[in-house]
Chain A
Amino acid sequence: ILNVEQSPQSLHVQEGDSTNFTCSFPSSNFYALHWYRWETAKSPEALFVMTLNGDEKKKGRISATLNTKEGYSYLYIKGSQPEDSATYLCAFEAGGYNKLIFGAGTRLAVHP
């Protein structure tokens, strides 16, 4: 059974803090690792899709790294803002499977 774990489950930070969360996934049969941002009452939006070991992606204050050999990815937010408050989902794409396997998400609340 392919399992994706995200930690922590939830996080409360102050505006301006930098934060990071973890996604752990199977290290075998790796195809791609996705990160999505999901705001309340909206649909998940793709942040990054990473395929290569050592990949680093950046979008504004948000960045992500990938280690396929040990099966983890980190998402970093620098200088958190209240508008960063959302649930961050990671999803593992395995070769030969026609689906993304999602973690349960990390819920981030940024307080002014």
Chain B
Amino acid sequence: EAQVTQNPRYLITVTGKKLTVTCSQNMNHEYMSWYRQDPGLGLRQIYYSMNVEVTDKGDVPEGYKVSRKEKRNFPLILESPSPNQTSLYFCASSSSGAGAAPAMVGYTFGSGTRLTVV
């Protein structure tokens, strides 16, 4: 089954304790992206990757890191989480990079990670 697998689904952590949210897709997609969703706001892009070893900042990159060492994996790293990073996070992938050509079949999203930083 074509899917984006995100882990964990739920995470409660303490301020300053490094964590990683994993994202893996099995569709051989070049484009992958991380979004966060906060109440009353649309999904906001954190980072994206057009291909292996090619990553760039989105709209809200502060406090986050990513890497793209393999095509299928795109982990999101919070080196020193803070309470303002409490949010619902989604990983997404697409067969064509947004901006290069329209993602005609839309994005495929992971199941989401609800992160609480206390």
A: residues with CB less than 8 A from B are: 4, 31-32, 34, 36, 42-49, 51, 89, 91, 93-105
Contacts and interface: CB of A to CB of B under 8 A. Distances in A.
B97 to A, nearest CB: 6
Given A4-B42, A98-B56, A102-B42, A49 B106 contact: yes
A44 B107 CA distance: 9
Contact of B109 (A44, A93, A103, A104): A44
Interface string B82-93: 000000001000
B42 A103 contact: yes
Contacts of B112: 43
B90 A99 contact: no
Contacts, number: 78
Given A99-B58, A103-B42, A105-B42, A32 B103 contact: yes
Interface of B: 4, 31, 33, 35, 40-45, 48, 50, 56, 58-59, 90, 97-100, 102-112
Given A43-B110, A48-B106, A100-B98, 16 more contacts: A34-B103, A34-B106, A43-B111, A49-B104, A49-B105, A51-B102, A91-B43, A93-B99, A98-B31, A98-B48, A98-B97, A98-B99, A100-B45, A102-B43, A102-B44, A103-B42
Nearest to B4: A43
| Majority DSSP secondary structure for residues of B touching A | loop
A101 B106 contact: no
Contacts of A97: 98-99
A31 B97 CA distance: 12
A42 B112 CA distance: 8
B103 A49 contact: yes
Contacts of B31: 98
